[in-house]
Amino acid sequence: MHTFLSFQNLEEGVNDPAKLKAIFLAGGPGSGKSFVQNQVKGDLGFKVVNSDDLFEKGMKQHGLDPKMPPEEEEVRDKVRKNAKEKTKKRHDLYTHGRLGMIIDGTGKDHEELRRHSERLRALGYDTHMIFVNTSLPVALERNKKRPRSVPDHIVTHAWNAVQNNIGHFQDHFGSDHFHIVDNNKTDENLLHKLHKHVRKIATSAVRNPIGKKWIESQKPRPVVQNFTPWQK
């Protein structure tokens, strides 16, 4: 009985649509990545990897000011470190099961992101990027409306850094796995197209040869029983 149930659950896991798919979200502060992330993950089986959620939760638990004043920096840094450590544990748990992931980050360091993507590919993942793009004025305006806003010069620096990395991202992910979203004006049509794009990623067959082998190795093998011929 227990053997049958474990095989059944394993079969369902291997056939999960988002299995071995990792989507990196890139874009500076105020680009609307978090909003896009919440709209597209839906019921497609993706797990979200984003330390910001845990960081903001920790800020509230410690009663820290979301405007992040300098006098709270020491406590805030400890909260941020704790959030990153917990996020890494979640990430490792997801990758152990080869679960589909949406990885939220700015994309300021293209080399770090590339290494992350390559580590996932070595595990069998197909990696993709959705680049959430806005103009700098829109990013600055949205940042001001966020509960946890940052100074304008930080937004500007991050925006420029991410924009300069577009070419690097295109080279790494390739035209088939790199998608730019113009999020200067979010509307229902944009969200519909995004959800359709993410669904296509989730339901497409895994291309990575390592991933294909892993899926095959996880499928239950038929049990062969040897019978002794009846003799008179």
Asked, for residue 226, whether it belongs to a domain, the answer is no
Burial class (CB in 10 A: 0-12, 13-18, 19+), 1: exposed
Determine, yes or no, domain membership for 162: yes
Determine, yes or no, domain membership for 212: yes
Could you tell me if residue 223 is inside a domain?
no
Average pLDDT over residues 77-105: 92
Smallest Cα–Cα separation from 203: which of 28, 53, 19?
Answer: 19
Q: What was the pLDDT predicted at 10?
A: 41
What is the total count of domains within the chain? 1
Provide the residue count of the chain: 232
How remote is the C-alpha of 151 from its chain's centroid?
26
What percentage of residues in the chain have a pLDDT greater than 70? 89
- Indicate whether 224 belongs to any domain: no
Is 231 a member of any domain? Answer: no
Output the average pLDDT for the chain: 85
- Using a 10 angstrom Cβ sphere, with 0-12 exposed, 13-18 middle and 19 or more buried, the burial of residue 5 is exposed
pLDDT (tens digit, 9 = 90+) per residue, 60-90?
A: 999 998 888 889 999 999 999 999 999 999 9
Inside any domain, residue 168:
yes
What's the pLDDT score for residue 8? 40
CATH number assigned to the domain comprising residue 155: 3.40.50.300
**Residue whose entry in the numeric block shows the structure tokens 């680049």:** 131
Look up the domain containing 126 and give its range: 2-218
pLDDT tens digits, 125-146: 999 999 999 999 999 998 888 8
In this structure, is residue 229 part of a structural domain? Answer: no
pLDDT for 228: 62
